Amino acid sequence: AVTGKLGASAAGWLALKKGLAGHGFVKKKFMKPPVRINEMQKIVGFVDAATDLSDGLLIGVYNICEESGCGAEITGVPIDEGVAEVAKRLRKTAFDLACIGSDYELLLAIPKEKITEAKKRARLYEIGEFVKGRGVRMGGKKLARRGFQHFQ
């Protein structure tokens, strides 16, 4: 699960970088990312693993998978408002922007038997599940590890 919708911060960064007029919501998300301390305090007992998504969705998922010795199947990604419009202008997909990074949302591994109760305590979006095996897949296709690369 993730603590919020994704892609807005990267969309805001790219809109600013490319000088795109408008897109105030996503620019604001880049300039002032959310802090999810309250959410974590409400659900800390439900979470088996967590990471922030500052380097992008796929890097976050891969990091948890590699440290936990498992794979993941992504079934859906909550995309923030305004992301698709910026993505279209840049000839990218909204999913591409969710993978770039700068979203300071949290990726949480919550057991199936605990997710319903956790969602009552904090706004969470289910994005899939951790599975046996290796790699990250969506719709049956293996997804490459991509996102923000430090020092490149």
34 vs 58, more confident? 58
48: DSSP letter:
S
- Label residue 151 by pLDDT band (50, 70, 90): low
Contacts of 40 (CB under 8 A, 6+ apart): 3, 47, 50, 106
Among the residue ranges 49-63, 70-84, 99-113, 138-152, the one predicted with the least confidence is: 138-152
Question: For 49-59, what is the mean pLDDT?
Answer: 95
- Asked if residues 92 and 140 have their Cβ atoms less than 8 Å apart, the reply is no
The pLDDT tens digits for 70-108 are 999 999 999 999 999 999 999 999 999 999 989 989 999
**Helix %, strand %, coil % of the chain (to 5):** 40, 15, 40
% of the chain surpassing 90 pLDDT: 88
* Region for 64 from its dihedrals, namely left if φ exceeds 0, alpha if ψ lies in -120 to 50, beta otherwise: alpha
pTM of the model: 0.91
**In the chain, where the domains are located:** 8-143
- Label residue 13 by pLDDT band (50, 70, 90): very high
Measured between alpha carbons, how far is 34 from 141 in angstroms, rounded to an integer? 31
Domain 8-143, architecture per CATH: Alpha-Beta Complex (3.90)
Measured between alpha carbons, how far is 84 from 7 in angstroms, rounded to an integer? 9
